[in-house]
Structure 1
């Protein structure tokens, strides 16, 4: 395969030093290590090996890979295989694209508590969709979900949200038949939004009470129970964004947008581990 004209590594090498200087103090050590690995991948920095033809003496040098899970060069083959595996699972039914988004105030907390909040986002969004889909008032079926986490928006700002590919129906409670949703309509987004909000805030408060959240700088006061409750109060009254629409061009078009395999999870219609 021909090398693309421009790679992420080229951008990091050309602009990384200036960017790191500008954002000093706001970039974690892990993020700096990822940038360094991508910059060094398949260069002399990581060493390599020499292959030489015994007949014609033709010599080529192959530099070592960084093997970082975030590196697009190292993970390219795995990404293609992941997409192929997901496409093989697609059913001959309509699919819907569902997105659960965290409010900006919660995103601020998530930035300093990424592993905990992202995990909570995965679990609560899955539980919300499974619960409403199982309700006989809506679909009354056990559905399947493929979920992918995006942590940044198109404006390159921190914007945690989960994209889901969901078939337009599911298995009946007795496991004997397929239950289809109404044509062009999957589940009511307002109902999804309100359950998502309630469950997420309940679990977030539990994490706070267990002392599992960290706060720094201007947010240090949120470590106190009363301050945190006051911080969450407005969020209990606002509408949380849940988006549901059939993906353009079929479900395959959505799987090809799936990012970074390291932050992908799937739920095969089973109850989430919450």
Structure 2
């Protein structure tokens, strides 16, 4: 049994067999290739030489895949830093939109279409209710992030939204509810249910949906109608988590959700020739952590379920936080609230400067003598001793 292992180790052991026995879409194969070859030299290397002592440093390039557990920290820190300029000293709320499990097979068969529908339904719900004078009567701003997994890597698509707890009314003045979330959860869930099922019905009527696996039965009109009726009868779940204390806590909290993947390396507890054991939360026991063991190929299957479609945008900004609004309207909101602007610390800096600021590591300093490291660019006529390391 191997106790110190990573997701890369799991893929190297079990993916080759899994690939031979399953038909995989191209974006799954690409994600697996990136994970197995990240920081191995397959994506090239960076070579630096110390000007003082001649010490050579070789750094294998990462794959930069958004599904790779080794490549999320730096993009996350850069993204969080960029958001500082758009954060107000105002209440923020974390609202989660979920769908009943009866819809999971049809959503998985139509990921791009029905993931988009989740964003459309969530944003339309928030916009409609926030503009209602009964609740707030203002235009708000929020960020939507799609997650498709539960703690055990089961399929569980849902939308996380970070909602600004106030907005601009029709007179362009700031309006909020003084620290209390302005929308009742029951109303959110009912409106979201209606909007999502309406879009699902429209896609089915336009023959845009595909049906695979356990979703094949919904090609039949009567089965699909029974599914819709069942979902209309169910109480959908939409809930709001605690508010945030100050703008900096909002910034830090965002990073927990924006660049998260289905499972991280630290949750892999052990691996044998046939199984993988990882930590999961037991929500029936107050969220206590426990260990779950599954066959290696089942682990691969669960992981790949959560690879997003090609070019799919997971982080989306709406309302006051949308790209076309935030430059002017956020400045106006900041002036109305009298709060300071948080300045990006990483803006216009190169990678070496960002690493030094974030991690207090100077990659331009020789670890042996403290001299300056410079890039090694071998002459095209001189064979490099590192040529075999390039892909």
TM-score range, shorter chain: 0.7 to 0.9
Alpha-carbon offset, residue 202 of structure 1: 0.6
Aligned residue number for residue 67 of structure 2: 70
Aligned residue number for residue 223 of structure 1: 219
Aligned to 2:161, the other structure's residue is in SS state: strand
Aligned residue number for residue 112 of structure 1: 109
Aligned to 2:6, the other structure's residue is in SS state: helix
Aligned residue number for residue 196 of structure 2: 200
Return the alpha-carbon distance in structure 2 between the equivalents of residues 225 and 42 of structure 1.
50
Aligned residue number for residue 58 of structure 1: 55
Aligned residue number for residue 144 of structure 1: 141
Return the alpha-carbon distance in structure 1 between the equivalents of residues 89 and 51 of structure 2.
54
Alpha-carbon offset, residue 185 of structure 1: 3.0
1:171-190 equivalent positions in 2, closer than 5 A: 171-175=168-172, 177-181=173-177, 183-190=179-186
| Aligned 8 A contact 2:12 2:36 in 1 | no
- Is 1:36 the equivalent of 2:87? no
**Structure-2 change in CA distance of 1:209 and 1:121 (3 Å):** same
| Aligned 8 A contact 1:65 1:74 in 2 | yes
Aligned residue number for residue 99 of structure 1: 96
**Structure-2 change in CA distance of 1:79 and 1:270 (3 Å):** closer
**Deviation string, structure 1 residues 220-272 (Cα, Å, up to 9, x no partner):** 1212322211121110011111011334555334313123385111113489x
**Structure-2 change in CA distance of 1:247 and 1:38 (3 Å):** farther
Number of matched residues?
A: 262
- Unaligned regions of 5+ residues in structure 2, if any? 261-312, 323-391
Return the alpha-carbon distance in structure 1 between the equivalents of residues 152 and 182 of structure 2.
29
Aligned residue number for residue 129 of structure 1: 126
Return the alpha-carbon distance in structure 1 between the equivalents of residues 82 and 182 of structure 2.
24
RMSD in angstroms over aligned alpha carbons?
A: 2.6
Alpha-carbon offset, residue 54 of structure 1: 6.1
Alpha-carbon offset, residue 148 of structure 1: 1.1
| Aligned 8 A contact 1:86 1:255 in 2 | no
Per the normalisation by structure 1, the TM-score is 0.85
Aligned residue number for residue 152 of structure 2: 155
| Aligned 8 A contact 1:12 1:35 in 2 | no
Alpha-carbon offset, residue 55 of structure 1: 5.5
The structure whose RCO (Cα within 8 Å, separation 6+) is larger is 2
**Structure-2 change in CA distance of 1:94 and 1:47 (3 Å):** closer
- Unaligned regions of 5+ residues in structure 1, if any? 1-5
Return the alpha-carbon distance in structure 2 between the equivalents of residues 180 and 29 of structure 1.
47
| Aligned 8 A contact 2:211 2:218 in 1 | yes
Per the normalisation by structure 2, the TM-score is 0.61
Larger radius of gyration: 2
